[in-house]
Homo-oligomer: A and B are copies of this chain.
Amino acid sequence: MLMHTTAINKEMEIIRLVAGDFSRHPLQVNGLLEADAEIIRWPGKNEEYLVLKTDGIHEEIKEKLYEDPYLIGWMAVTAPISDIAAVGAQPTGILLSVILPQEYDEKWLEQFKGGINEACSQYNIYVLGGDTNFGDHFSVSATVVAGIKSQRPLLRKGMKPGDHLYATAPLGLGNAYAYARFFDTSLKVNYQPVARLSESRLISKYATACMDSSDGLFPALALLADINEVGFNLDVPLQNLLEKQASMIYHNANLPAWMLMAGPHGEYELLFSVPREVGLDFEQAIKNEDWQPVYLGKITSGQQINFSSGAMQVQCSPATIPNLFYEANGNIQLYFELLMQQHKTWVQQ
């Protein structure tokens, strides 16, 4: 007899282990894991918030998913800015913590700084400061400082059964890029996501909750399911949600569509829920903007995810897919095998 119908999400388990028993600042709006960034009420001010986010690029460099120094610089800024967008804040600047190898290449460093610089001007922010250390491998972590004025912040928490789930754009680019890098270098995928800062202004007016897909669709849904005690009914077949290059990989590599959304390398789109009754207003408001949100499906009350991928219809626990990466202990080859095994199991059901 199963006591738990849903598996425990391993990523969240680690985060709770590392950060779970620190006491919270009395003015902090979000509980642990409840928002993409940290939101602190500004003392004495109504609807004014200080927003902060720290994000590191380590595994991506270690596993050589990112080798181009320009891309590393670009992503060091884009990753935390995407979280700032997800809470509906406007960024001011960034602090960098860099570990340089003892024998660093000055040209490499120039290109890294080029990526930092161009991302900063993309988001209209400045490098405010930083810290440089020496170590065995290059590594970078960044902290963004941002603010929210005269509007409520957007959390991961707040979605309700019946809400509609959207993404800012088609998905799968993060995994498509990783597949091309790790498994078939004859396939070329361009990867340089832009954090959805401008889109987030409109989203924060309508959405009940928001989270970026920096770790891919399924890891995000697992976290949202846990925090909101909800599930997801993805009405649209996953192959119809694929971004152009992801769709190319889907066809050329003959991968199941769901695998291109399995993470943990994502595409930095925003995933957000809109109450059914304001859906039309939202879609109307969007018409005046130069982007088109992608409807994914509905929030449900059972903590399960339903989706169709190719001819296959799947119902699973939200943690099933993201946990495979942790079961593989971060080994990418093994992870891919576990994904394939999971696919076979589902096909045979």
A residues adjacent to B (C-beta < 8 A) = 14-15, 17-19, 21-25, 28, 37-38, 40, 50, 52-56, 58-59, 62, 92-93, 95-100, 102, 106, 109, 113, 116-117, 120, 126-137, 139, 141, 143, 145, 329-330
Contact = CB atoms under 8 A, between A and B. Distances in A.
Contact of A130 (B18, B98, B102, B126): B18
A109 to B, nearest CB: 7
Nearest to A28: B128
Nearest to A37: B129
A38 B28 CA distance: 22
Contacts of A92: 25, 40
Contacts of A21: 113, 117
Contact of A18 (B55, B109, B120, B137): B109
B97 A97 contact: yes
A129 B38 contact: yes
Given A109-B17, A139-B135, A141-B131, A99 B56 contact: yes
18 contacts: A15-B132, A18-B109, A19-B130, A22-B113, A23-B126, A24-B126, A38-B128, A40-B128, A50-B50, A50-B145, A52-B95, A54-B130, A58-B133, A134-B330, A135-B137, A139-B139, A143-B143, A145-B145
A263 to B, nearest CB: 15
Contacts of A99: 56, 58, 139
Contacts of A113: 18, 21-22
B135 A55 contact: no
Contact of A134 (B19, B58, B129, B132): B58
B102 A330 contact: yes
A50 B129 CA distance: 13
A116 B23 CA distance: 11
Which interface residue of A58, A127, A129, A132 has the most chain B CB atoms within 10 A? A129
A126 to B, nearest CB: 4
Contacts of A25: 92-93, 126, 128
Contact of A97 (B23, B54, B102): B54
Contacts of A141: 56, 97, 131, 141
Nearest to A79: B131
A135 B140 CA distance: 13
Contacts of A22: 113, 116-117, 120, 126-127
Contacts of A145: 50, 52, 145
A143 B24 contact: no
A62 B101 CA distance: 13
A116 B21 CA distance: 11
A98 B18 contact: yes
Contacts of A93: 25, 28, 40
Nearest to A125: B25
A185 B206 CA distance: 63
A137 to B, nearest CB: 8
Given A120-B22, A134-B59, A135-B59, A129 B54 contact: yes
A59 B25 CA distance: 30
Contacts of A137: 135-136
